[in-house]
Amino acid sequence: MVSKINSIAVLGAGIMGAGIAALAADKDYKVLLLDINEEAAQKGKDSMISERAPMLSDLSKINNVNVGSFDKDFELIKDYDWICEVVVEKLNIKREIFEKVEKYRKDGSIVSSNTSGIPLRDITENMPDRLLNDVCITHFFNPVKVMKLCELIPGEKTSKKVMNNLSKFLSGVMGKGVVYGKDTVNFIGNRIGCYLILKGLHEGSNARDLGLSQEEIDGIMSKPLGLPPTGLYGLVDLIGLDVMYSVGKNLEANLPEGDMGANYVNLPVEEQDMFDKGQLGRKTGGGFYRMQKLANGEKKKEVFDLNTSLWRDAVKSSAEGDLSLILEDSIRGNYAWEVMGSTLLYAANLIPEIADDIVNIDRAMRWGFAWSKGPFEMMDELGPIYFINKCKEKNIAIPKMLDVLLASSGSDKFYSNDDKYLSIEGEYKNILN
């Protein structure tokens, strides 16, 4: 294994690939950027120095980036220490790329995939141990320059030295917040974050029947719960309804039997109709919201009313309240419980399946989804006993980590005052940076 990463080959020059390449180049590392043809790779390189949103903080560092094509220049990866695959999210294409990587890479080079949800075991199935010992997932979040999170996922045979070496580079050089996940569908951030989104869309229908508008739902799913100001529908507009559709299909194919999320993998009827019509969000000029330019040059915001399937003027909704809304007995509170409360319970049931401890889960949601607090930090703020009592009241099975807390005699919270966290074994352990 290489003792130190001094060069990076990025395979795929789209938004994510260019972002990863730019971050490395900005730190003065030698970068090779390859794509299906040299024009595509050059386009990715040019995007790093675009006037509107440059990816480089020092534009002169563009000279650290060389471009090429898969057909003509793939063998050049033999000179690079870390090879990061960032091609389209299709298993067969990723496998083809990995087979070529193994053919040309040098001994000891680190290989990673930036997939957001395809299990590593599927990408590397039946590939040689030489690759399996040096391979992992490095899941960056978009935009790479801004988002702190990088999920690091080993395979069954990945060397610990590879993980340590790459972790040090990601955190020490690239400035990323590294969390350690397991080779499970959607890893940590997207597993929990997409549960929240899909559950929110499904519960939205009932909430609208009870009188909540989409704007009010977005108000709930923002500042009161420590979530970004986009709310639910605004976030889906940003991500794209097509992306959420694909995420759901991936979850449907890969979630373990009995998983809480299995009931929400398909879009609700109204959202499916929007998807079928190509009304996907900002990328198509409008999804749940759109901006209309008036004759006088001013703009107004409109909302696509899911109850009528018609556009109407958006009504600004106040984002009042705090996290205690989850426990409030009201229409707003019940929606918050059914969506955010359910998400916190979901997270409490996913250790050790997706991560070994609560710290990695909390960090993933803060660093990758811009939550003000992670799931276990939220439960600590409100008091885990209230969640336990609510589960008993609603005849919900108590999730694993809440059960561990109940059995622990040390504290009534997941985190102690002396910077320790409750482990799955029921012991408080030191939080490591």
Model confidence over 140-172: pLDDT tens digits?
Answer: 999 999 999 999 999 999 999 999 999 999 999
Which residues touch 27 (CB under 8 Å, ≥6 apart)?
A: 173, 174
Query: How does 301-331 read in b/e, with b if 16+ C-beta sit within 10 Å?
Result: ebbbbbeeeeeeebeebebebebebbbeeee
Q: Which residue carries 């950027």 as its tokens?
A: 33
Q: Provide CATH 1.10.1040.10 ranges for the chain.
A: 189-313
CB 139 within 8 A of CB 150: yes
> How many secondary structure helices (H) and strands (E) does the chain include?
18, 13
329-430: CATH topology is N-(1-d-carboxylethyl)-l-norvaline Dehydrogenase; domain 2 (1.10.1040)
Residue 278 is given by DSSP the state T
* pLDDT for 179: 98
Q: What is the pTM of this model?
A: 0.95
Residue range 189-313 in CATH 2.60.40.420:
no
For the chain, give the percent of residues with pLDDT over 70.
Answer: 99
Mean pLDDT of 299-318: 94
Name residues whose C-beta falls within 8 Å of residue 365's C-beta, 6 or more positions apart in sequence.
Answer: 188, 189, 192, 193, 347, 371, 374, 375
- Dist. CA 101–CA 275, nearest whole Å: 36
Q: Tell me what percent of the residues of the chain surpass a pLDDT of 90.
A: 93
CB atoms within 10 A of CB 298: 8
Structure tokens at 369: 């989804």
Instruction: Provide CATH 3.40.50.720 ranges for the chain.
Output: 7-180
Tokens read off for 307: 């109850």
| pLDDT tens digit sequence for 315-334 | 988 778 899 999 999 999 99
Q: Helix, strand, coil % (nearest 5) of the chain?
A: 50, 15, 35
Q: For 207-215, which contacts have Cβ atoms below 8 Å and span 24 or more sequence positions? A: 207/331, 207/335, 208/306, 208/307, 210/331, 211/331, 212/331, 212/332, 212/335, 213/315, 213/317, 214/288, 214/303, 214/305, 214/306, 215/303, 215/314, 215/315, 215/316, 215/317
* CATH fold for domain 7-180: Rossmann fold (3.40.50)
Give the tens place of pLDDT for each residue, 357-373. 999 999 999 999 999 99
Mean pLDDT on 222-245: 96
Contact (CB, 8 A) for 287 and 311 = no
- Which pLDDT belongs to residue 410? 66
Cα separation of 120 and 159, whole Å?
15
pLDDT bracket for residue 1 (50, 70, 90): low
Please state, in angstroms and as integers, the Cα–Cα distance from residue 95 to each residue in 77, 87, 90, 116, 427, following that order: 17, 11, 9, 15, 41
Say whether pLDDT at 51 is over 90: no
What is the torsion angle, in degrees rounded to the nearest 10, for the CA atoms of residue 54, residue 25, residue 8 and residue 139?
A: -40
Closest Cα partner for 331 from 423, 411, 213, 193? 213
